[in-house]
Chains A and B, each alone.
Chain A
């Protein structure tokens, strides 16, 4: 990443990306690859022969109460070394949780094991969680030889016992730690929609000077809510948010996360890359004038 442009422009890995790279090798600077995918299919590392890799992760459960297992930490470390990633992106969320004293369920999926949701979920946003995240962050951040970037989660409902907004929560985590951030603009837009606030105004209140990576993807309106959708192009507002963020932030990487559909149309990805470059150029121009 050291010799890559600032910010570098990349895409999240999906089944269509190797073919895309064969045809448009110069269209991107790096590929973001989930640790969980590498663990499941180590051959994905072959992408490193063509492009730099940024490692993304959903296994540390940094916002949770269950410690990530030593085996998983060991595997993350192995993939950090093999990919030579400049950092690990991780969600400000939890994926596992303790089986509290709630009696025995009729059919235990994995008796004795913690609940494994298989998907990252925002924890309650309160002082106690801020402390826990800070503890976990301090514990993990020295383990892998590269920094851990924390990514804002999308909020789909009010998590019971939350006492602060997500913006306040992220600010508090940043005050308590040296963490740098991934700002997922679609997640932020979803949270704004769920809690009915103006995303363009609120985004200014985030610690944007801590943002090292930005994520771009689509959203969906279904069943009365807005949902993350990495198989759909980003709406206009995402690019308006990007423009606003770029006036203050100096991210090192911008990742287009269109990785849910192995059949994502190539022309749409190219259009989105071009749109992102256009916003970047526009923001550079505006910053130059300031």
Chain B
């Protein structure tokens, strides 16, 4: 047996997922090119490759400890429900293939959370729905924080909008002051995430509590603000893109025949958002 042959095979199985899978399917063939003596060969043929595969998943898990920074509740729930090792074992191949390309941390995080979303969506049970909800909350929190430094500040054109006639007002174009994203939840993610991160989660399914939350990167305070929104406010913010006018947004949000609100009734909402500096309203 060559010196270090056992370590080489183990190391290779941990950094080359294809080799590990080949060892599981055809251990004899996979080891044929190694100069192992009969004892070593016999022991490798009987090795617990399922455990070695789980160990490679464990290594991946540890190598993703940086996720704790921005996705603490998601990570903690993955541990709590005992699904981390399996999950990272499946992710190992993707992780190693990207390592070759010298990926940036941000790209690594994105790649993993996209993988995780697909995995969680494919599973049944409230635990997976809950993890998906917390992942959604932590993802949008992370993305909004990141874009706080990148989304350009809209031109400051503070108009005295209260004095505008309705005809003029509805031609104005709302622009978000900073990154702004709206998400719908079937659980309220904030108190649940707090309980999970603070080690106070009891493992019972939380009560459903639908929420619409707005994640706003407030530049004036240089911080993320999470706003609880009603359907109308959420609808407005979803349609704000810096190009649509007040009138156009109202047309998108209002459900004729269902909403008792008239277009003019939306004005107060726009004005409130402008006063809170969530939006700025630009003239044409």
Contact = CB atoms under 8 A, between A and B. Distances in A.
B54 A156 contact: yes
Contacts of A137: none
A197 interface: no
Contacts of A158: 47-48
A94 B3 CA distance: 14
Contact of B16 (A105, A221, A232, A268): A105
B10 A65 contact: no
Query: Main secondary structure on chain B at its contact with chain A?
Result: helix
A102 B3 CA distance: 14
Residue with the greatest number of chain A CB neighbours at <10 A, chosen from B18, B68, B198: B68
Contact of A102 (B12, B54, B82, B198): B12
Interface residues of A, number: 49
B14 A117 contact: yes
B79 A101 contact: no
A218 B12 CA distance: 28
A159 B14 contact: no
Interface string A83-105: 00000000000101111111101
Contact of B10 (A106, A159, A220): A159
Interface stretch (B37-45, B109-117, B142-150): B37-45
Contact of B48 (A115, A121, A157): A157
Contacts of A221: 82
Given A160-B6, A231-B79, A265 B198 contact: yes
B65 interface: yes
Nearest to B4: A65
B243 interface: no
B197 interface: yes
Interface of A: 15, 64-66, 94, 96-103, 105-107, 109, 115-119, 121, 123-124, 156-161, 220-225, 227-229, 231-233, 260-263, 265, 268
7 contacts: A109-B15, A109-B100, A116-B15, A117-B59, A223-B54, A223-B89, A231-B76
Given A97-B10, A99-B12, A107-B100, 4 more contacts: A115-B14, A118-B59, A222-B79, A263-B68
Interface of B: 2-12, 14-16, 18-19, 33-35, 39-40, 43-44, 47-48, 51-52, 54-55, 57-59, 62-63, 65-66, 68-69, 72, 75-76, 79, 82-86, 89, 96, 99-100, 197-199
